[in-house]
Amino acid sequence: MAEYAAMVVVTAVATTLYLGGWYFPFVYRFTEAKGFHNAYVVVSLIVFLAKAGLLLYLYFWLRWTLPRFRYDQLMDLGWKWLLPASLINIVVTAIAVAVLQGLNESGIRTIDSIARGLNLTASGKLIAILFGVGNLFLTAVVLSFINWRSRDFNLKKQRRKIRLVDLPKGKPAIAPSSSVGSPS
């Protein structure tokens, strides 16, 4: 039972951190901005529970469908795939923000207002999308280059080189008995 409670807590935290929690587009404009505070609270609670329920469903579905990973497989996934991908994402995102700000200062209007956050214009959004798509391809190329010589891609070649048993050639492992098949 404690395991399921932990799954619910993890789902609630993930909903808050990664899915915007109780936020949903246009809910504030149609409820709280018009003075309907109670409706805003109820709708926000429903939105949060729907997002958390969707994540919990995905969590259960993946957990019951996929086999359990060993510790070395998780470490391999984290160190060889997720960490380099996240570092590439950080670098490309920093470059994209610098390019968007630089283009805005050079005359191409990419940022609508910095005071209200990084609110982008249509051209700024297009540039950000191009950076995102380029980031996907760059990450795929870098990860395939990093992991090209990895044991994951060369298992057949490694298995051919490994000899588990080195029996002498021409001699059977067990000598045949002479009493088998002789008439008594």
pLDDT digits (tens, 9 = 90+) for 12-50: 999 999 888 888 888 888 887 888 888 889 999 999 999
Both tokens assigned to 138: 């760059």
> How crowded is residue 120: how many other Cβ atoms within 10 Å of its Cβ?
19
What is the per-residue pLDDT for 110? 84
| pLDDT higher at 118 or 56 | 56
What is the per-residue pLDDT for 89? 93
Asked whether residue 62 carries a pLDDT value surpassing 80, the answer given is yes
Q: Which neighbouring-strand residues pair with 120?
A: 111
Cα end-to-end span (Å), the chain: 69
Both tokens assigned to 165: 């048993």
**Is the pTM value of this prediction over 0.75?**
no
The answer for residues whose C-beta is within 8 angstroms of residue 120's C-beta and 6 or more apart is 100, 110, 111, 112, 128
H or E, element range at 29:
helix 27-30
Asked whether residue 166 carries a pLDDT value surpassing 60, the answer given is no
Confidence bin at 119 (pLDDT 50/70/90): confident
8 Å CB contact between 56 and 11: yes
What's the whole-number average pLDDT of the chain?
Answer: 82
